[in-house]
Amino acid sequence: MQDGDGHTARDYLAILALTAAAALLSLPRAAAPFNFYKPWHTANLDNEAFWNESHTGGCSIHKLPPVPSVSGVVRVPQTHFEDGLACGTCMEIYPTTEGPLDAEALHHMLVVDGCEGCPENLLTVMPFAAVKSSTRAHATQEASWRFVPCPGLANDNVSIYASFPTRATNYYFVVSFMNAAVPVKHMRMYHPRLASWFNAERNNGAFTVSFADHVGSLDEAKMSPPIRIDAVSIMNESLVTTIPGFVEPNHPNDPLSLNSQFQKQERHPGMTFEERKWLCEHKVGGIYGLSGNCCPAGRCGDKCGGAFCEDTEGGRDECCDYEVILKPACDGEHTPPCRITEALMPTLNVTFNRACTALGGTFGQGGLNATRACCPSEICSECATGERCTGMEPECCVEEIEKYAERCEDRGAPPCTMRNVDLVRAALVDGNGGEPPPVDDITKPANISLRSDAFSAADRTTLCTRLGGIADDRATVCCSAKCASCDRQTCETDSECCPDMLRAHGTDCSNASAVPCRMDEASKDAFAESAWEICQHKLGGLSDGEDACCPSDCGQCGGMDCGSLPGGTAVCCSTGIHASNASSCDIDHEPPCLVTAATFFSVKADVAPVYEREVLCRRHLDGSYDRDTGVCCKRGALGSIDCSTNETTTAMAAMAACSSGSNGNGTPALPCVLTERPDMSIKDRWTKRRVCEDYIGGVFNEAREVCCPIECEECGGEGCSLRADSRPDKCCSKEIRAA
């Protein structure tokens, strides 16, 4: 037996019928923080028969309930469809010319599908009534439109289906919510053995959860019903329920009554599997296992729990799941073996807060999914939520960042969402009790350091791929990219593909100039972490998020209308840089260029290209860098330079290299020489300029040592009383000093 889409019963593992909640509609839609309810737009209308109960579109609305106020359905461009979040909303459409819909009349239509590739100003409408005989099919007409609430859609006869297609397994789930009166924006699923909620990814109306992406083996990832889910609508109502088990298609269990469960409630984020693992490994100093267990490192082999756990040095009591789960929670008194619980949430948020501060942002938490967000401090007095967002820029509102911003580890700067502690840990500041140094304590060096973390096999494999090679099964060596595989079967034909040969006679990757090489412990910190870091931090360019690096003058790298940016297509567009056969980025090739595998060997972590030396000189030594000689000169009164190219050229032979202790008191003596491999301990000093500009987010006045708000653009000087809406108390250094 086939359904309307041609699927048979074998195409599904299960279909579970749930009852939609009429209670959702009792909430006032107009007050909802939903971004689709926008002002009027203009568009062209096209008429086409694109929807029926067999072809349901991206919203999967199988059967429309009686909605008297709706006269048809509409398909909107992907720009407005927002990956299915427009499902279940209505549109007011007001045609201004003749066509399929009556002109100069208000029509209410229900969004049922998105149109990938359609122009942003084209809507496809399908009125329920017959098209007027005088109008041909696909006729277009001009109209104004806007999104509006769609009351009266839900009723007791409408069901929500949670379906599990064939490709689903007991560790990979695909869930579709169909016939929902209000779209489901977010879903997460609970894994009892991992003791964590896992957020689902959304793709055109369906949610996917793969537990295998988070653990080392499929056995650990597997899960059986009952399945606990947490679904959240665009109206912020939360549905927490349990799917009791798989059922045959067309023979569902009795529908669960969810009316009492769909309700608006405060959401607590809990801790993800990655966050629990990070706390165990980085804060408690253990090895993470299942169910929140944290075993002592060094006594349990390379994992916590699993087969033969009782044969380890720590034995059953310290290394086996069924014993560790009975231990106390990890805290100041209890170290591994112990359990990672939500009592460590404050520690986690302190970590996020410090990471955001180091990125130049202000930390906030809230929104639909209790999102942790980092707002840009230069324009945001706070990272606000709810009503406090009124009148603020979108970049300062957690709810807006939650919907549209990238992750901090991808974007590298606010506004961004902070979701994976492990990937932003490099930005943390460990000093002064875990907080950045206070402004009035800037003469003391801040201890900026990273914990020496274990170099895992997964990290080694990732690094090998970044270096353009292929890792062996234990990730101990990185074979040449020309190898079909990196294993013993290739040893007789090619030494560059033989792990045994490379382990015995190969060069360590930390000292190599190309693959193949051995993945030694030092290589963990020898290379930049991403193409983005090399492009933006070391070369001063702008990354396209992949391998292209544009000059900073472009303002952005790639994207729409990049050809109109300063420099044109060949300089500011990813495609243009590739088409021009741009050089590989290295110590001598600044943007535009391509970050290749060779770049990672050329611009290693301890190598400072010219741009990075300029940053080190200005931010950390409070000086000004001379490109011709490589000298970091001391700033004089009002920021003038007290050494020139001619003078420094003469004194180059006798000039010391810049280091944190070259002045005898923990500070560098200027002028000094910054080489390609500078003493990076100079980063341990927080200069007054760096505290003002990088930590506080202001602008610094050298002469008076005053920090003004960023909106002043310049601190002190002529015309300061007219800046920032005529606020001399903010922008004039003399007034600030007097206060």
pLDDT at position 100 is 75
pLDDT at position 6 is 35
Secondary structure of the chain: what % helix, strand, coil (to 5)?
30, 25, 50
Helices (H), 225-310: 273-278
Question: Which of 54-63, 212-221, 582-591 bottoms out in mean pLDDT, i.e. has the lowest?
Answer: 54-63
Percent of the chain with pLDDT over 90: 6
Q: Is the pLDDT of residue 268 over 50?
A: no
Query: What are the tokens at 63?
Result: 């059967």
Q: Is the pLDDT of residue 595 over 60?
A: yes
Question: Which of 399-403, 553-557, 717-721 bottoms out in mean pLDDT, i.e. has the lowest?
Answer: 399-403
**8 A C-beta contact, residue 182 and residue 174:** no
Q: Which residues contact 652 (CB under 8 A, 6 or more apart)?
A: 629, 631, 673
- Tell me the average pLDDT of the chain: 71
Residues 524-552: b if buried by 16+ CB within 10 A, e if exposed: bebbbbbbbbbbbbbbbbbbbbebbbbbe
**8 A C-beta contact, residue 687 and residue 665:** no
Helices (H), 282-383: 315-319, 321-324, 345-358
pLDDT at position 670 is 78
Global pTM exceeds 0.75: no
Which residue type sits at 40?
A: W
pLDDT at position 452 is 30
User: Which residue matches tokens 């990655």?
Assistant: 274
Question: Which of 131-135, 176-180, 686-690 bottoms out in mean pLDDT, i.e. has the lowest?
Answer: 131-135
| C-alpha separations of 344 from 268, 332, 347 in Å | 14, 10, 5
pLDDT greater at residue 264 or residue 69: 69
Query: What are the tokens at 507?
Result: 């060069």
pLDDT at position 492 is 60
**8 A C-beta contact, residue 177 and residue 160:** yes
CA nearest neighbour of 224 among 292, 294, 164, 303: 164
| C-alpha separations of 459 from 23, 155, 212, 237, 471 in Å | 48, 52, 17, 39, 11
Most confident residue range from 229-238, 484-493, 717-726: 717-726
| Strand pairing class (107-115; 72-77) | parallel
Phi and psi at residue 112, in whole multiples of 5°? Answer: -125, -5
**8 A C-beta contact, residue 526 and residue 607:** no
Q: CB count, 10 Å around CB of 565? A: 20
The Cα–Cα gap between 739 and 725 comes to 19
What's the mean pLDDT in 340-369?
Answer: 79
Helices (H), 91-240: 218-221
pLDDT at position 725 is 80
DSSP state letter for 590: P
* Residue 171 banded pLDDT, cuts 50, 70, 90: low
Query: What are the tokens at 275?
Result: 């966050």
pLDDT at position 439 is 31
Tell me the DSSP string of 531-558: HHHIIIIIS--EE-SSSEEE-GGGSSSS
Q: Is the pLDDT of residue 157 over 50?
A: no
Structural domains of the chain sorted by starting position, each given as residue range(s) with its CATH number in brackets? 33-148 (2.40.40.10), 159-264 (2.60.40.760), 273-340 (no CATH), 345-428 (no CATH), 457-524 (no CATH), 531-602 (no CATH), 610-690 (no CATH), 698-738 (no CATH)
Percent of the chain with pLDDT over 70: 64
Q: Is the pLDDT of residue 1 over 50?
A: no
Element (H, E) at 577: helix 574-579
Cβ contacts of 394-400, under 8 Å, gap ≥ 24: 398/364, 398/365, 398/366, 398/367, 398/371, 398/373, 399/33, 399/366, 399/367, 399/368, 400/35
